[in-house]
């Protein structure tokens, strides 16, 4: 079975193309939610968007939208994660 994306066989993608595909088209799902304890909730949510080189203003807007959807209060934005 061959998987095609935008008319191109996935098996022909270079390593960089596969990485870009996963980053840009699929995203990443972590099984154990490895949040970065030294970062705020806001920064943890924003990190993948920074890797995509999205403008800081758009990052802030998207993060705020997700925080609203997830009903996370603004106070939590300033708190560092308490992850062990």
Residue 84: the pLDDT is 39
pLDDT computed for residue 55 by the predictor: 93
Rounded to 5 degrees, φ, ψ at 72 are -95, 125
From the number of C-beta atoms within 10 Å of its C-beta (0-12, 13-18, 19+), residue 78 rates as: exposed
Predicted TM-score (pTM) of the model is 0.55
For 42-73, the DSSP string reads HHHHHHHHHHTT--HHHHHHHHHHHHHHTT--
8 Å CB contact between 42 and 77: yes
Under the banding of pLDDT at 50, 70 and 90, the label for residue 79 is: low
Tell me the pLDDT tens digit for each residue of 16-70.
988 888 777 776 666 666 778 888 888 888 888 888 889 999 998 998 888 888 8
């Amino acid at each position: 079975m061959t998987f095609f994306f935008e008319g191109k066989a996935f098996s022909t993608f270079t390593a960089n193309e596969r990485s870009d595909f996963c980053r840009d088209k699929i995203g990443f799902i972590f099984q154990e939610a490895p949040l970065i304890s030294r970062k705020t909730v806001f920064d943890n949510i924003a990190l993948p968007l920074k890797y995509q080189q999205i403008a800081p203003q758009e990052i802030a807007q998207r993060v705020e939208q997700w925080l609203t959807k997830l009903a996370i209060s603004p106070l939590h934005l300033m708190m560092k994660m308490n992850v062990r």
